[in-house]
A and B are shown apart, each in its own frame.
Chain A
């Protein structure tokens, strides 16, 4: 009797939700691996033709490389600057601290789409259009506020006594930081770095606006050129989608455990 209730209450809706979540992914997989013209619902025998098409003919090898460079660059910049800013917020009382925190919170309300025009002009003036460095800077600026907020939460979670003990023992603050604090921040770096990587890997508008040359396209921009409801090569679209999806899905699998705590600490609680 109890089990029956549990089935209707728990497993039925969960099962339905799983179907709705996973069918779209499966649909992409089917299109990516079955030959053009086939309508089979199981992609067997599988073909790699579509992957060959997107990787070499459509230039996804270049887009993938660009995306990887930009996302990894953003990851490094955001982790280093996020660590510095978060540590300052968590461990120092200084004039302007509240204003800084307020600016971080508010900047989450100023999104990419709204600042496209001035940013385009800044990039034009500084010759950062059509450069991967420019994208790293723009993506980092977009990811940094959340990273600083998250990081300060993580630093605050580490007892300050440990650092003070090390400093009493003759360590400078810098040495105490590297010896005592940094090792404990490894999960924080994984979480913050992964958010930055995913955010940058997925960023579309900046990449679309700031890179007009095909050799500087990232995956979302390249993918957007394969879209179109009626004229599209569905096999190529699906294969390109798989190429774009696999790295973020792998990163997602790694951070999944941290996700629930990490996102909450930053996004809502500030």
Chain B
């Protein structure tokens, strides 16, 4: 019997160890490094920094505030559109029709594609010499030579569309699972009572989906906040740092500049945002009731 008491701990030990090294330690050490000057390319100046990094970040770094603002804009627009389109798509592929299985497989397929590959595909579409706008211009729509990623006026919508292509299936998949759990009797009862299609959607479908919508929106907001692959490769944060989110700023400080001290201070700011999201998530998912 004494063996059985230890069994669960033995079973979770490797997972706990990996998480300690890859989640707990990094989060803790970021707090430590944020108080240090630690720049690999300027190692002579390394050492205790006190609150220098934070003072620099909050008072003298306009890019910090700009990246925070763009992060908010990016998350709101991206998640909002993904939710609307994903819900519509889920409702459509939840209906019964010939070829539904194939249609689902096709519309969900961008879900499996990486951020870098998404960038590759959309660069092919957006490129000013042989892209899709060039083809449209040849057919008389729009003007040739448009560089949507280089133009500050179009870079935001162009990036949003590329990420939508990959992100909508996530919502569609999650909401479809919940749609399938609605008992058909509810719709029949509503029909008998003379409810229109819109009323059935509002009175039966939406209330049933409410929890799933709230939680998947929150989860997706976190993922889009953290989305670095696509922005790093598609725009690199440009033109003129216009599309730099906070995590992208961190990644560039880490990968390109190797300024680990200041990067850690930026990361700490990111954790404050994420902490807010996770508390909200745990509250809404009713973790404390399990």
Q: Are B250 and A114 in contact (CB-based, < 8 A)?
A: yes
Cβ contact within 8 Å between A88 and B26: no
Closest to B118 in A: A24
CB-CB under 8 A from A137, the residues of chain B are 18
Interface pair A202/B123, CB less than 8 Å apart: no
When distances are taken between beta carbons in the complex, the residues of chain B under 8 Å from A22 are 106
Asked if B12 and A100 make an inter-chain contact with CB atoms under 8 angstroms apart, the answer reads yes
Contact assessment for B229 and A204 in the assembled complex, using a CB-CB cutoff below 8 Å: yes
Among A157-165, A184-192, A219-227, the one that faces the other chain is A219-227
B93 within 8 A of A: yes
Q: Are A117 and B260 in contact (CB under 8 A)?
A: yes
Q: When the two chains form their complex, are residues B11 and A248 in contact, meaning their CB atoms are under 8 A apart?
A: no
CA distance A246 to B221 in the complex (A): 29
Q: Are B125 and A248 in contact (CB under 8 A)?
A: no
Q: Which residues of chain A are within 8 angstroms of B174 by Cβ–Cβ distance?
A: 263-264, 267-268
Cross-interface CB contact of A18 among B8, B107, B263, cutoff 8 Å: B107
B159: min CB distance to chain A, Å: 12
- The smallest C-beta distance from B226 to any residue of chain A, in angstroms, reads 4
Segment 254-290 of B: residues with Cβ below 8 Å from A: 254-255, 260, 263-264, 267, 270-271, 274, 277-278, 281-282, 285, 287, 290
Q: How many chain B residues touch A (Cβ–Cβ < 8 Å)? A: 96
> Is there a chain B Cβ closer than 8 Å to A84's Cβ?
yes
* Contact A223–B254 (Cβ < 8 Å): no
A229-B150, A253-B105, A268-B215 known; A204 vs B114 contact (CB < 8 Å): yes
Whether A168 is near chain B, meaning CB under 8 Å from some CB there, is: no
Contact: B116 with A109, CB < 8 Å? no
Determine whether A48 belongs to the interface, using a CB cutoff of 8 Å to chain B: no
Q: Is A44 an interface residue (CB 8 A)?
A: no
A94 to B109, CA, bound (A): 40
Residue in B33, B92, B116, B267 whose beta carbon sits within 8 Å of that of A224 in the complex: B116
Q: Is the CB of B112 within 8 A of A248?
A: yes
Residue of A whose beta carbon sits closest to that of B274: A109
A80 → chain B closest CB, angstroms: 9
Given A115-B30, A117-B264, A251-B112, A220-B247 contact (CB < 8 Å): no
- Given A24-B122, A109-B278: A256 and B105 interface contact (C-beta under 8 Å): yes
Tell me, yes or no, whether A45 is within 8 Å of chain B by CB.
Answer: no
Give the chain B neighbours of A270 by CB distance below 8 A: 285, 287, 290
A17:B125 contact, CB within 8 angstroms: no
Interface string of A230-270 (1 = CB under 8 A from B): 10101001101100110011011100100111011001111
Most buried by A among B33, B178, B233: B233
Does B125 lie within 8 Å of A144, measured CB to CB? no
Query: Which of A's residues lie within 8 Å of B, judged by CB?
Result: 10-11, 13-14, 17-18, 20-25, 27-28, 31, 39, 41, 81-82, 84-85, 87-89, 92, 94, 97, 100-122, 137-138, 140-142, 144-145, 148, 173, 198, 201-205, 208-209, 220, 223-224, 226-230, 232, 234, 237-238, 240-241, 244-245, 248-249, 251-253, 256, 259-261, 263-264, 267-270
Q: Which residues of B contact A (CB under 8 A)?
A: 4-5, 7-9, 11-12, 14-16, 18-19, 21-23, 25-27, 29-30, 33, 88-89, 92-93, 95, 97, 103-117, 119-128, 130, 132, 135, 147, 149-150, 165, 173-174, 176-178, 180, 212, 215-216, 219, 222-223, 226, 228-229, 232-233, 247-248, 250-251, 254-255, 260, 263-264, 267, 270-271, 274, 277-278, 281-282, 285, 287, 290
Closest 7 CB pairs of A and B: A202-B114, A115-B26, A141-B22, A118-B26, A88-B11, A111-B226, A92-B8
